[in-house]
Amino acid sequence: MTDTPTQYERPTTDLGSAHRSITPSILYFGTPVGVISTLNESGSTNLAPISSYWGLDDLLVIGLAATGHTVANLRRHPELVLNLCSVSQWESVECLGRLTGAHPVPRQKPSGTQFAADKFGAAGWTPLASTSVIPERVTELPVHLEAAVTGIRDEADQLAVVFARCQAVHVLDELTVAGTSHIDPGKWNPLIYNFRHYFGLGTRLGIAARAEVRAAGRCEVEA
């Protein structure tokens, strides 16, 4: 957190709001779950579930434990695949969350974490060759974002922020608007991590003015 600028004064009027100050241990307010593929030293692919990421144009920003196996892999080989999960995959994701590609298991890991050399096998998934990077994709996951790492910023408290540029996108055909590069939001049902509980999406509430897909199977692309 940055300090409050000294040249301004913070208003102190008590408006009697219904909010209460709390100190939660995590800030997992509900983000989509992905599984990140990185290259092990042996040349095999490691898989790890993540939820701390976002995308802006082709830029992916990913939050990771700085001392973790996934970051070590990325420092050695700066390529990744971000495989996005749909709701049906939550049990495989939960299984992978208790595994690490690091051997021996680092002491920072939660108790019960076990080493797994073959994360694909552990999750019941099948590797698929990528088109632009060496780490493999996960066949069973509906969306694959292949990306090249452009930087890793180490933060306090053993956190790392990874910056990567997406260079290839593969999506299950049935989730797209036929003949276009648009994903149909009515069909794509991401797995959401909400304070360590798994959810899907609720029903659509409305359509933004900037939406490109406005009805099932129809696109209106604005300039």
Establish if 100 lies at the interface with ligand FMN (CB under 6 A): yes
| DSSP output for 132-161 | SSSSPEETTSSEEEEEEEEEEEEETTTEEE
Taken as a whole, the chain contains a residue count of: 223
**Residue among 39, 48, 60, 74 that touches ligand FMN (CB under 6 A):** 48
> CA 179 to CA 13: how far, in whole Å?
56
| DSSP output for 25-92 | S---EEEE-EEEEEE-TTSPEEEEEE--EEEETTEEEEEEETTSHHHHHHHHS-EEEEEEPBGGGHHH
Name the amino acid, one letter, at 43. Answer: G
Nearest 5°: CA angle at 196, between 77 and 86?
65
88 phi, psi to nearest 5 deg: -70, -10
Of 97-105, 124-132, 146-154, 176-184, which part binds ligand FMN (CB under 6 A)? 97-105
Choose between 49 and 190: whose C-beta lies nearer to ligand FMN: 49
The mark string for 103-122 relative to ligand FMN (x by CB under 6 A, - otherwise) is: ----------x---------
Of 62-70, 164-172, 179-187, 209-217, which part binds ligand FMN (CB under 6 A)? 62-70
Establish if 101 lies at the interface with ligand FMN (CB under 6 A): yes
Residue 166: Cβ within 10 Å count: 18
Choose between 109 and 144: whose C-beta lies nearer to ligand FMN: 109
Choose between 115 and 126: whose C-beta lies nearer to ligand FMN: 115
CA distances from 3 to 8, 18, 160 (A): 12, 26, 21
**Residue among 44, 55, 61, 63 that touches ligand FMN (CB under 6 A):** 63
Establish if 164 lies at the interface with ligand FMN (CB under 6 A): no
Establish if 135 lies at the interface with ligand FMN (CB under 6 A): no
Choose between 104 and 206: whose C-beta lies nearer to ligand FMN: 104
> CA 158 to CA 51: how far, in whole Å?
17
CB of 6 to ligand FMN, least distance (A): 34
CB of 174 to ligand FMN, least distance (A): 24
Choose between 64 and 80: whose C-beta lies nearer to ligand FMN: 64
Q: Which residues bind ligand FMN (CB under 6 A)?
A: 33, 46, 48-52, 63-65, 68-70, 93-94, 97, 99-102, 113, 193
